Structure 1
């Protein structure tokens, strides 16, 4: 990408995934290292013939390229990024370290008796360390979910696909497909402004899932998703409702009072951290940095 480094050479071994955005391949680096790699190829269609590629997309790709220099144990390492303009679209190739399991696969293998508490703490600690690092570098993930969190064979937790959410969303708007709403913050569902606290809502949903072994809020439309959220956290007041949302407040959205306990069987620290992640108002939600020093992590 014009930074003077020579691009990584690899051979594709197998296609391991296909989405509305493109394909993912398992690959091996050519040369001494012979590392396994994940290669993601996107074709991003331009807006319209007169506009070509939207400016936000150029910025987002530039951000991805800058992220090559991020080096954090809880962030998937982006080893190479290249973008080639093809007519009105952009071919984007990302080369990443290869980790063969995501958190949803990991959770599907957990026995019915559940994950032990130390394991839950360990996963959350690593996830929040990664989020804190992204937020400190002014990067929002915007689409954090178990499929975007990788767990290596050594138990390392790494956040993947950060910086891509806007590209995905743009492309998916052009490609009807199923997009998971289950980890999406209320302000996003309400089309209101959002900031890094959107990722903390998703982290709260993931924390609950580590206990439940199933997603906490499973709605299939935005309206249904909001209703499921309010069934658990209670309906916010009219004053708390975002002013800029095109969706108007109604008392029929859900029950006034929340469930007595967010999740049964949690101790007070677990409940407190979860409720601070799942606060309706973004400004009341705990930050990743604060969550890392929450009593939840302090006792063994």
Structure 2
């Protein structure tokens, strides 16, 4: 089936993903370039369409359009966006550059011996360059995880999926229920004020995962590994009271014994040396 939305024409090749609002397709551009594309098709039906496009979709399109002007190599590029009314429904289509796989899929193919340090360094450098660009432009991604980090067969790393992203302004009220649990910073779980540090925490979780090849993070064990913060450092606005029972005051400084001192320092700076064998949520 061919679609032409002037000036971009493409042919859908295969469905590669499905969510609550729509589907993602692999497509090929029709014409001279013949480049591969990722096409996200959202269908907003019934009463939802009468209320317009959901806010998270508008934010994703707006932020991707903003990023497009800078053409940063580590941010996925939006090539086209269109919204077409179909009866009582509304079809929203995003056409993006196609990347072979996400980081989660990439890691699932890594041999038991693990990734080389040079490879880990390259992935993290690209990821942090992309995050630095977003934060410099006051954008919080808020859902950084391997499934939202794309990596091509050529090793190009691109941050994707801006459905939960927000432009940060001073003293803005930000939603607490963001970031997938295993990559969620303590200040989010504690309903505390947060800033770009939530993305840095997630990046640190990904950094650890590049070594471990699995995600094993939870806040309770975070404190048992990094040590419990002092009562003075506990967020005063958090509805969860401070308690010495949350974890030991001393930290485990050598969680990953195969890391060099510099690598352990980097992991500590990103505040995510917290690797565990269970998942729990503070309530």
TM-score, normalised via structure 1 length: 0.76
Could you say which residue in structure 1 is the equivalent of 2:163?
164
Could you say which residue in structure 2 is the equivalent of 1:259?
252
Which moved further from structure 2: 267-276 or 151-160? 151-160
Residue 7 of structure 1, CA deviation = 4.8
Within 5 A, what are the aligned runs for 1:264-279?
A: 264-278=257-271
Could you say which residue in structure 2 is the equivalent of 1:201?
201
In 1, are the aligned partners of 2:67 and 2:75 still within 8 Å (CA)?
Answer: no
User: Which structure has the highest helix share of the two?
Assistant: 1
| Structure 1 residues 110-155: Cα deviation after superposition (integer angstroms, max 9, x where no partner) | 1211111111111111111111111112221111111111111111
- Name stretches of at least 5 consecutive residues in structure 1 with no aligned partner: 168-172, 174-178, 218-224, 281-300
After superposition, the CA RMSD in angstroms is 2.9
Q: Rate the CA distance shift 1:153–1:249 in 2: closer, same or farther, 3 A.
A: same
Distance 1:46 1:194 in 2: 36
In 2, are the aligned partners of 1:53 and 1:89 still within 8 Å (CA)?
Answer: no
Paired residue secondary structure (2:39): strand
Could you say which residue in structure 2 is the equivalent of 1:230?
223
In 2, are the aligned partners of 1:47 and 1:54 still within 8 Å (CA)?
Answer: no
Could you say which residue in structure 1 is the equivalent of 2:174?
none
- Name stretches of at least 5 consecutive residues in structure 2 with no aligned partner: 167-176, 274-283
Paired residue secondary structure (1:11): strand
Q: Rate the CA distance shift 1:243–1:81 in 2: closer, same or farther, 3 A.
A: farther
Residue 258 of structure 1, CA deviation = 1.9
Could you say which residue in structure 1 is the equivalent of 2:27?
27
Residue 51 of structure 1, CA deviation = 6.5
Q: How many residues align?
A: 258
Distance 1:19 1:102 in 2: 16
Distance 1:47 1:228 in 2: 44
In 2, are the aligned partners of 1:101 and 1:150 still within 8 Å (CA)?
Answer: yes
